[in-house]
Structures are given as structure tokens and as C-alpha cells.
Structure 1
Amino acid sequence: MNNIAQYYAVLSIDSAASSETVKQAYRNLAKIWHPDRYVHDPRLKAQAEIEIKKINQAYAAIKSYLELEHNTVEKKFNLAKFRLWRSHLIIKL
């Protein structure tokens, strides 16, 4: 999976979801698919292990994406503040 939209689909949430919604969706699915719930049935446990890997991978990818997006916005904001500061400095000189 390379497309971030696919990861959102794994968690059954919209790609515009907040980080809190992402976390809640992850927790809900992790509770459902945790392999320890299926120790009585090896076939179901194997399926749960596959599902939880997908869920964990999707959550990690979305978290990284949101963090990168946040850092990018923050860098752009800081650059804009610097440019504004610099323009005031140049005007005063």
C-alpha cells in the first residue's frame, strides 16, 4: 500500500479525519482484531494476525503522514514570520 487514502480505508475513516478520530478508529479496530481474542481458534487467530498487521501499518503510515503535514505547515508558517520580520527590518534601515 502506497496511497495514503488506502490506509484511511483500512481504518474505515475519511481522509479528512482528525488525528483524534484516527486514533479512535485504530483503537476500535485493534480491540476487534487483536489476536489474543482468538486463541481458541487457530484459523481465526491467523486471520486476526493478518488484519492487525494491516491495521498497525495503516495507523503508523497515517500518523507519519499527519506529522509530516503538520511539520510542513509549521515550517511554512515560520518562514512567513521570518519574511515578515525581515521586511520590517529592511524598511527600518
Structure 2
Amino acid sequence: MSDTGACYYSVLGLHKQASASEIRDAYRKLALKWHPDRWMKDPTAAGEANRRFQQIQEAYSVLSDAAKRTVYDAGLLSLLADDDDEVSFC
């Protein structure tokens, strides 16, 4: 889960029953919107864009992989995490 503890589905603006194509489409839309290169000219927003982009990538990496998504939906992702980050589920 992201450092902020946000639900991966809410990060991508999706419901839990979202299909693989809905996940991919949401990721592409948000990745284009929040890509740090788009925000280079506005240094005050660049940090926020970088943080959001990382959250979006993290959410997509879990939800786009069927095995990881199953583990995440079961609430067991924290058991597989290498670090001690707090994980919350939606």
C-alpha cells in the first residue's frame, strides 16, 4: 500500500469489481495527468505530482497483476511486503 495508506482502488478511482481494461485505462489517464515531467515548470506542484505518480504506479503494479490483486483483495499484501509500511485496505 502507499505510504499514505490510501486504498489502491481509490488511488485509481475504481471500484473493486473493475476489469483489467478499466484498471489499465484509469492508470494511463492518471499517469499522463500526474507524470512529473508535465509539472517541471511548476516547482511547487512538482513534488505533489511526483508523490501522486508514485502512488498511481504502485497501485497499478498490484492491481494489474492477477495474483497480487487476489492477495491484496484478501487483505494479505502486508504479509508479503518486504518493508514495514502500514497497509490499509478498502
User: Normalising to structure 2: TM-score of the pair?
Assistant: 0.66
Q: Which residue of 2 aligns with 1:61?
A: 62
1:51 partnered with 2:52: yes
| d(CA) in 2 for partners of 1:54, 1:42 | 19
Structure with the largest fraction of helix: 1
* Aligned-residue CA RMSD (Å): 1.8
1:33 to 2:34 alignment: yes
Cα displacement (A) at 1:61:
1.0
Structure 1, residues 3-43: CA drift from partner, whole Å, max 9, x if none? xx911111000110100000000000001101111111111
**1:12 is aligned to 2:13:** yes
Higher normalized contact order (CA 8 Å, seq sep 6+, divided by chain length)? 2
Distance apart, 1:54 and its partner CA: 0.3
Partner AA of 1:59 in structure 2: Y
5+ residue gaps, structure 1: 70-93
Deviates more, 1:36-45 or 1:23-32: 36-45
Q: Tell me the distance in 2 between the aligned counterparts of 1:39 and 1:54.
A: 18
Cα distance in 2 for partners of 1:40, 1:57 equals 25
Greater Cα radius of gyration, structure 1 or 2: 1
Structure 2, unaligned stretches of length 5 or more? 71-90
Instruction: State the AA in 1 paired with 2:8.
Output: Y
